[in-house]
């Protein structure tokens, strides 16, 4: 789960709270109307009518437009709180004998709705209960002030504590989600790297390639490099020294190219460099620079005598035409094969390969 989806979860909780709040107020207002008619035979009061119409309209709106964002909880809570305060004021005038119980019951019903629907929303809860609480305290004229204050203050303390706990839990969950997400990213990054050389592996290369093909439309070249006589190197210096040589060569390759080029370990002692936004002459210069840098490492290689006394690489490169990566690799591989045949420590392009194959029939004709 990402932070965004956690926020979406919180938002849907917020939306449900608002819907429950509207429903409870709508039901209470209807109940209040029915009682007024049946027992006291008094006409409908304006605040109750407004509450029922407003709640009903908002509920229908929310049901019909589920995708609509409704950051309305605080506003709706304060408006309905004011309307209930108005209703308490009007109804208080109609109560014949004042014994304080009407105010207590009215206040309790306002708190009851707030407690059920706004338990997780301290501000909305306070906005909802404040008008009714102040109205009840004013109308009470000091008769039952202690009882009213008790009814007001106790839930407030409870909700404030509950709110602090919720905030902590929320912070903890956010931190946990963020941490898990970062760890997932790290693991995903690691799964794209070759542990010995720190270069991209095939998976990482594929990932970067997709990215490049999506965002850069320039001309790209694929360069395949292979360490010369590496089997012989392993045989005479041992596998551990072979690993060290591989690691040093990979650093040299990374250093020789530009930061925007993608360097990957493509096979055991084979490397692939994706040269982005280059023409053939720059691609050749970069390949040549790699060859020189590897040679300049001066890693002794006594079984490479026909080429050098140090570790060398051969390379073949080819343009990536029409974003066809596989075709470019196949062409670069053929050029690499020919570079090996031409004595190693050599660089050849796919273009030169074609020229060579064109010249061969000519040579045959002249013979
Ligand atoms: N030390 C070490 N050796 C490796 C690793 N991966 C591949 N190799 C060795 O690289 C050698 C590749 O040998 P070959 O494919 O025969 O090619 P080569 O000896 O380099 O000869 P040419 O490519 O024709 O110059 C094999 O001996 C593999 O064991 C590795 O991670 N560490």
Please work out whether the CB of residue 340 comes within 6 Å of at least one atom of ligand 1: yes
Count of all residues that appear for the chain in the document: 367
Please work out whether the CB of residue 243 comes within 6 Å of at least one atom of ligand 1: yes
Please work out whether the CB of residue 231 comes within 6 Å of at least one atom of ligand 1: yes
Q: What strand order describes the sheet that includes 347-349? A: 262-265, 270-275, 221-227, 313-319, 347-349
Instruction: Taking residues 95-116, report their average pLDDT.
Output: 80
Q: What is the pLDDT of residues 256-294, one digit of tens each?
A: 999 999 999 999 999 999 999 999 999 999 999 999 999
C-alpha 288/C-alpha 65 separation (Å) is: 63
Contacts of 209 (CB under 8 A, 6+ apart): 262, 274, 325
Distance in Å, CA 234 to ligand 1 centroid: 7
Confidence of residue 367 (pLDDT cuts 50, 70, 90): very low
| Torsion angle in degrees (nearest 10) through CA of 74, 80, 82, 88 | -150
Structure-token pair, residue 155: 């839930």
Confidence of residue 230 (pLDDT cuts 50, 70, 90): very high
Please work out whether the CB of residue 239 comes within 6 Å of at least one atom of ligand 1: yes
- Which residue's CA is minimally distant from atom 28 of ligand 1? 231
| Structural Rg of the chain based on CA atoms | 39
Indicate if ipTM > 0.90. Answer: yes
Confidence of residue 248 (pLDDT cuts 50, 70, 90): very high
151 vs 293, residue with greater confidence: 293
The pLDDT of residue 119 is above 70: yes
C-alpha 107/C-alpha 114 separation (Å) is: 11
Please work out whether the CB of residue 110 comes within 6 Å of at least one atom of ligand 1: no
User: Which atom belonging to ligand 1 lies closest to the Cα atom of 243?
Assistant: 1
Structure-token pair, residue 43: 């006409």
Structure-token pair, residue 169: 């839990």
DSSP label of 342:
T
pLDDT at 292: 96
Please work out whether the CB of residue 205 comes within 6 Å of at least one atom of ligand 1: no
Distance in Å, CA 268 to ligand 1 centroid: 6
Please work out whether the CB of residue 26 comes within 6 Å of at least one atom of ligand 1: no
User: Which atom belonging to ligand 1 lies closest to the Cα atom of 230?
Assistant: 20
Contacts of 286 (CB under 8 A, 6+ apart): 223, 256, 257, 258, 261, 273, 275, 278
Instruction: Taking residues 232-251, report their average pLDDT.
Output: 96
Instruction: Taking residues 332-351, report their average pLDDT.
Output: 94
Pocket test for ligand 1, best of 228, 241, 247, 268 (most atoms within 8 A of CB): 268
Instruction: Tell me which of 8, 182, 185, 269 is the catalytic residue.
Output: 269
C-alpha 226/C-alpha 313 separation (Å) is: 5
**Segment among 201-205, 223-227, 356-360 with least mean pLDDT:** 356-360
Q: Which domains does the chain have, with CATH numbers?
A: 3-182 (no CATH), 202-366 (3.30.70.270)
Q: Say whether 214 is catalytic.
A: no
């Amino acid at each position: 789960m990402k932070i965004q989806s956690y926020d979406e979860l919180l938002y849907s909780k917020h939306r449900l709270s608002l819907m429950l709040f509207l429903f409870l107020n709508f039901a209470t207002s209807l109940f209040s109307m029915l009682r007024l008619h049946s027992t006291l035979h008094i006409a409908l009061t304006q605040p109750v009518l407004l509450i029922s119409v407003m709640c009903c309209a908002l509920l229908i709106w929310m049901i019909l437009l589920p995708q609509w964002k409704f950051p309305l909880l605080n506003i709706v809570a304060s408006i309905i709180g004011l309307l209930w305060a108005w209703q308490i004021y009007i109804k208080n005038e109609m109560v014949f004998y004042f014994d304080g119980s009407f105010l207590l019951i009215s206040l309790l019903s306002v708190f009851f709705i707030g407690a059920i629907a706004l338990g997780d929303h301290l501000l909305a809860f306070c906005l909802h209960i404040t008008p009714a609480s102040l109205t009840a305290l004013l109308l009470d004229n000091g008769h039952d002030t202690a009882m009213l204050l008790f009814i007001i203050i106790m839930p407030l303390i409870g909700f404030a504590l509950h709110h602090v706990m919720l905030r902590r839990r929320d912070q903890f969950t956010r931190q946990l989600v963020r941490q898990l997400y970062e760890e997932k990213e790290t693991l995903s990054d690691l799964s794209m790297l070759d542990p010995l050389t720190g270069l991209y592996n095939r998976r990482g290369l594929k990932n970067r390639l997709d990215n490049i093909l999506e965002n850069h439309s320039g001309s790209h070249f694929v360069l395949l490099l292979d360490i010369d006589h590496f089997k012989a190197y392993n045989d005479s210096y041992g596998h551990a020294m072979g690993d060290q040589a591989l690691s040093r060569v990979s650093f040299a390759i990374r250093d020789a190219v530009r930061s925007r080029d993608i360097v990957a370990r493509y096979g055991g002692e084979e490397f692939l460099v994706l040269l982005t936004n280059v023409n053939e002459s720059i691609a050749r210069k970069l390949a040549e620079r790699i060859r020189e840098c590897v040679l300049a490492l001066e890693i002794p290689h006594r079984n490479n005598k026909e080429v050098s006394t140090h570790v060398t690489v051969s390379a073949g490169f080819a343009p990536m035409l029409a974003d066809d990566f596989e075709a470019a690799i196949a062409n670069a591989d053929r050029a690499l094969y020919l570079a090996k045949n031409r004595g190693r420590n050599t660089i050849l392009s796919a273009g030169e390969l074609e020229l060579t194959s064109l010249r061969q029939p000519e040579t045959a004709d002249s013979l």
